[in-house]
Amino acid sequence: MDKGPADPKVKEAVLAYLDTVEKAKSKEIAKAIDVPKGAVDLAVKELAAEDLVEYLYITTTFVALKGKVAPPE
């Protein structure tokens, strides 16, 4: 089932928000930029493919701007 492309405005808002924090969960991003979490998930997926953000798995999944969080020792 194709969910279609992400909304470019949501992608911009996600990048802008992640610039203000170290890392965040999709749910937190959705709340902060006031859009449904599904839209954030889709935007993050595209942004990850574009190498602009990365997923961090720290018991749950966080999202951060690429390279912003140092890898664990």
Partner 1 sequence: MAEVGKTPLLDELENGPWPSFVKEIKRAAEKNEMSKDLLGQLERSYEEKIGHWKHGGIVGVKGYGGGVIGRYSDLPDEFPALREFHTMRVAAPSGWFYKTDTLRTICDIWERHGSGLTNMHGSTGDIILLGMTTEELQPTYDEFAEQGMDLGGSGSDLRSPSCCVGPARCEHACYDTLDACFDITNEFQDELHRPMWPYKSKIKFAGCANDCVAAQARADISVVGTWRDAIQVDQAAVAEYADGGLNIQKYVVDKCPTGCMAFDAEKKELTIDNPECSRCMHCINVMGKALKIGKERGATIMIGAKSTIVKSAFMSWVLVPFMPMEAPYDEFKELCNEIWDWWDENGKTRERLGETIYRLGMGKFLRDLGIEAVPQMVYKPRSNPYVFWQPEDF
Question: Least distance from C-beta 25 to partner 1, angstroms?
Answer: 7
Residues that bind partner 1 (CB under 8 A): 1, 3, 25-27, 36-38, 41, 45, 55, 57-61, 72
**Cβ closest to partner 1, residue 5 vs residue 38:** 38
**Cβ closest to partner 1, residue 20 vs residue 60:** 60
Question: Least distance from C-beta 5 to partner 1, angstroms?
Answer: 15
* Residue 9 structure tokens: 């405005």
Residue 55 bridge partners (DSSP): 63
Taking the C-alpha atoms of residue 25 and residue 69, their distance in angstroms, rounded to an integer, is 14
